[in-house]
Amino acid sequence: MKRKLIILGILLLIAINISALATVGYRWKCGYGGKACGGCAPGEYICQQLSLSDSQKQNMEVCRKVFSEDIDQKREILNHKRNELVELISQPTPEAEKIDSLLVEIGNAQTELEKDVVNHILHEKELLNPEQQKKFLDLIKGCLLPEGKCEKVLCPSERR
């Protein structure tokens, strides 16, 4: 029974990690923080793709900074909880109840992180005109959907 619970916990952790990686990948590959595009500021490539006005660029940058600070804190908390889970699983006799409780906490934290990403996308979308929104959503689809090609939103210098 404990072995099945541990395996279930590991599978759930893998699913959560995949989801977290998708979120990080979205932000990184789509120009939202993290890695700069060939020496330009984070998010500059997407700004170029959307032909943003100067005021839109400023609004997007403010939005991105607030989002990045908030998401970084939540990611740190989530990583701490994952480390706790690894420690619990590593125990000679893991306590199933503690593992279950921590898995619920990790799942809730991951859900909140994903909600924040979606809210950020919606907020940025509000800053765009209809034509820009269509292009923006096409770029987002390329990164979020399994059949999407995120390469199309990478800076040319980052393409392989």
CA dihedral 105, 26, 60, 68 (to 10 degrees): 40
Q: Decide if pLDDT at 68 tops 90.
A: no
Helix (H) or strand (E) holding 46: helix 44-50
120 in any annotated domain: yes
pLDDT tens digits for range 98-130: 999 999 999 999 999 889 988 998 999 999 999
CATH number at residue 92: 1.20.120.1490
Q: What is d(CA 155, CA 27) in angstroms, rounded to the nearest whole number?
A: 13
What does the pLDDT read at residue 136?
87
Q: Decide if pLDDT at 71 tops 80.
A: yes
What does the pLDDT read at residue 159?
39
What does the pLDDT read at residue 7?
82
**Of 148, 144, 157, nearest in space to 35 by CA:** 157
CA angle 35, 32, 136 (to 5 degrees): 135
140 in any annotated domain: yes
40 in any annotated domain: yes
12 in any annotated domain: yes
Output 17 or 153, whichever has higher pLDDT: 17
What does the pLDDT read at residue 140?
80
By residue count, the chain amounts to 160
118 in any annotated domain: yes
Q: Give the count of beta carbons closer than 10 Å to the beta carbon of residue 155.
A: 19
79 in any annotated domain: yes
| Residue ranges with strand state E in 63-151 | none
What does the pLDDT read at residue 97?
92
Q: What range does the domain containing 23 cover? A: 2-144
Q: Model-level pTM?
A: 0.62
158 in any annotated domain: no
What does the pLDDT read at residue 42?
55
Q: Decide if pLDDT at 156 tops 60.
A: no
* Candidate from 29-43, 49-63, 79-93, 136-150 with smallest mean pLDDT: 29-43
Domain count for the chain: 1
